[in-house]
């Protein structure tokens, strides 16, 4: 294993390939620009090479496991990935070396990859993207399989305890880390998750649907916890109870294990004439489709996971200058403030009524969108988070110019990111 030089960072990314994961990609580029050397270990996507250099980042990939089905599918995926990432991390330790091992959850098992390197002076950063116990409850029901919930709480605690630095995405996560993980406040840095200022732009284009229709857009993951079933039932009410047929809804994105069942539900609710699933789209098309909408929606229902989580799509909607209809969640209210209309008690019929009200009030839509864009630029863009992340990293290893070394990894062209 190569000796420590202070500023080499190895990112562990299990649940997405690289560079497809936008947050990890932004973190890597920010660390590179600050003078750190950065490597990533992750699963592959079809057609990606085993090793390559992507925009200055050394990427080491292992074969992706099969798409998980049910709880035991995830158990197998995480076990397989733990073994694969441990082996590849050992390879990186001897090829390039690292001084800081930065693990992005989920899962919360990656501290086991970092633990053997702690006696050699390597630092561990736990980047807390998701509350795994609450996410499990949201997917499978909070009264079932309590033993699994207890295991997930234990893994989260161990990840927090081993970490030299914990990165939280918001104040709610920080409170969990302090109360459940017993992490001192001075070892937690809040680094919010927003796109770059020029990634999304407001647009008057409405080419996603006929001009005589309002365009409603959802953008992002399509998992069972993301509430798209709530949205489809709200649209059913909008069409068949309220008589509104002057809209089209576009569901943007190709990732998520609920997508097939959502398409079946859409047909069952007789919404195929009103709803389009885009499937995979490029970064550019994703931004264009969001910018082309009249109203954006976030149907994440209230539960212990969603109430504490900051949703990327909310910030992306605001960056695009779009008014939002969302359920009344604490972190939604902090993020969007006056850029959104909030629906209480997971009320699908009220969700439909608020969409209809915005469809009929273009001036209100414009005011809400302008407020959201301003809040994004001044508070929530990635540029506002970079300095906080780099300040936290400097407590572990101050950045410095890294000497150039011969490297066998081939530099690749930037890739289009799947959505």
Contacts of 78 (CB under 8 A, 6+ apart): 14, 107, 109
What was the pLDDT predicted at 22? 87
Tokens of 100: 């800081």
Measured CA to CA, the distance from residue 311 to residue 335 in angstroms comes to: 9
Q: Is residue 207 part of a domain?
A: no
Do 161 and 232 have their domain in common? no
Q: Is residue 258 part of a domain?
A: yes
Do 288 and 391 have their domain in common? no
Do 372 and 249 have their domain in common? yes
What was the pLDDT predicted at 4? 62
User: Taken in order 393, 395, 396, 400, is the CA torsion positive or negative?
Assistant: positive
Do 241 and 310 have their domain in common? yes
Burial class (CB in 10 A: 0-12, 13-18, 19+), 195: buried
Do 299 and 178 have their domain in common? no
Q: Is residue 93 part of a domain?
A: yes
| 3-state helix vs strand vs coil in the chain, percent to 5 | 45, 15, 40
Q: Is residue 170 part of a domain?
A: yes
> What is the number of structural domains in the chain?
2
What was the pLDDT predicted at 204? 55
Task: Give the 3-state secondary structure of residue 261.
Answer: helix
Do 221 and 333 have their domain in common? yes
Q: Is residue 200 part of a domain?
A: no
Q: Which residue has the tokens 């885009």?
A: 278
- Assign residue 308 the CATH number of its domain: 3.40.50.2000
Do 263 and 360 have their domain in common? yes
Pairing of strands 188-190, 165-168: parallel
From first to last of its 419 residues, the chain has per-residue pLDDT tens of 665 667 899 999 998 899 988 899 999 999 999 999 999 999 998 889 999 999 999 999 999 988 777 788 888 999 999 999 999 999 999 999 999 999 999 999 999 999 999 999 999 999 999 999 999 888 887 555 788 889 999 999 999 999 999 999 999 999 999 999 999 999 999 999 899 998 898 875 544 444 588 999 999 999 888 999 999 999 999 999 999 999 999 999 878 888 999 999 999 999 999 999 999 888 899 999 999 999 999 999 999 999 999 999 999 999 999 999 999 999 999 999 999 999 999 999 999 999 999 999 999 999 999 999 999 999 999 999 999 999 999 999 877 665 555 454 656 554 444 45
Do 270 and 339 have their domain in common? yes
Q: Which residue has the tokens 């630095």?
A: 165
What was the pLDDT predicted at 287? 92
Do 179 and 236 have their domain in common? no
**Strand ranges (E), 169-307:** 188-190, 214-219, 247-252, 275-277, 295-298
**Strand ranges (E), 280-367:** 295-298, 324-327, 340-343
Do 149 and 80 have their domain in common? yes
Q: Is residue 205 part of a domain?
A: no
Burial class (CB in 10 A: 0-12, 13-18, 19+), 73: middle
Do 356 and 247 have their domain in common? yes
What was the pLDDT predicted at 419? 53
Do 241 and 336 have their domain in common? yes
* 189: nearest Cα among 102, 307, 299: 102
Measured CA to CA, the distance from residue 103 to residue 114 in angstroms comes to: 8
Q: Is residue 401 part of a domain?
A: yes
User: How many whole angstroms from its chain centre is CA 405?
Assistant: 33
Residue range(s) defining the domain that contains residue 277: 214-379
What was the pLDDT predicted at 93? 95
What was the pLDDT predicted at 316? 96
Measured CA to CA, the distance from residue 410 to residue 416 in angstroms comes to: 18
What was the pLDDT predicted at 277? 96
Q: Which DSSP helix (H) or strand (E) runs through 136? A: helix 132-140
Q: Is residue 418 part of a domain?
A: no
- DSSP label of 251: E
């Amino acid at each position: 294993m190569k000796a420590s030089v202070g500023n080499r960072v190895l990112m562990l990314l299990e649940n997405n390939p690289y560079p497809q994961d936008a947050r990890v990609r932004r973190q890597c580029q920010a660390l590179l620009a600050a003078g750190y050397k950065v490597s990533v270990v992750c699963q592959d996507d079809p057609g990606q090479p085993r090793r390559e250099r992507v925009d200055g980042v050394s990427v080491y990939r292992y074969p992706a496991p099969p798409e998980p089905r049910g709880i035991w599918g995830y158990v197998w995926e995480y076990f397989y990935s733990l073994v694969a990432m441990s082996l590849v991390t050992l390879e990186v330790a001897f090829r390039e070396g690292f001084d800081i091992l930065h693990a992005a959850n989920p899962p919360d098992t990656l501290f086991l990859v970092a633990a053997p390197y702690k006696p050699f002076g390597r630092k561990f950063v736990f980047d807390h993207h998701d509350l795994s116990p609450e996410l499990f409850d949201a997917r499978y029901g909070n009264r079932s399989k309590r033993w699994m919930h207890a295991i997930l709480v234990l893994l989260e605690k161990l990840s927090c305890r081993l970490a030299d630095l914990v990165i939280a995405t918001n104040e709610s996560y920080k409170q969990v880390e302090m109360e459940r993980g017993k992490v001192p406040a001075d070892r937690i840095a809040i680094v919010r998750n927003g796109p770059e200022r020029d990634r999304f732009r407001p647009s008057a284009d409405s080419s996603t649907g006929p001009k005589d229709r309002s365009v409603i857009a959802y953008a992002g993951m399509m998992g069972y916890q993301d509430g798209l079933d709530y949205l489809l039932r709200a649209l059913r009410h909008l069409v068949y109870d309220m008589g509104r047929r002057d809209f089209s809804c576009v569901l943007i994105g190709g990732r998520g294990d609920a997508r097939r069942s959502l398409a079946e539900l859409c047909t069952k609710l007789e919404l195929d004439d009103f709803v389009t699933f885009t499937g995979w789209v490029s970064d550019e098309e994703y931004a264009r489709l969001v910018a082309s909408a009249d109203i954006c929606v976030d149907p994440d229902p209230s539960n212990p996971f969603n109430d504490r989580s900051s949703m990327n799509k909310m910030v992306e909607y605001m960056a695009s200058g779009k008014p939002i209809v969302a359920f009344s969640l604490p972190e939604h209210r902090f993020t969007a403030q006056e850029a959104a209309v909030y629906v209480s008690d997971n009320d699908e019929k009220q969700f439909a009524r608020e969409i209809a009200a915005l469809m009929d009030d273009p001036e209100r839509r414009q005011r809400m969108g302008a407020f959201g864009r301003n809040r994004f630029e001044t508070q929530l863009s990635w540029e506002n988070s970079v300095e906080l992340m780099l300040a936290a990293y400097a407590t572990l290893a101050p950045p410095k110019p890294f000497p150039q070394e011969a490297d066998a990894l081939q530099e690749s062209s930037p890739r289009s990111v799947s959505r």
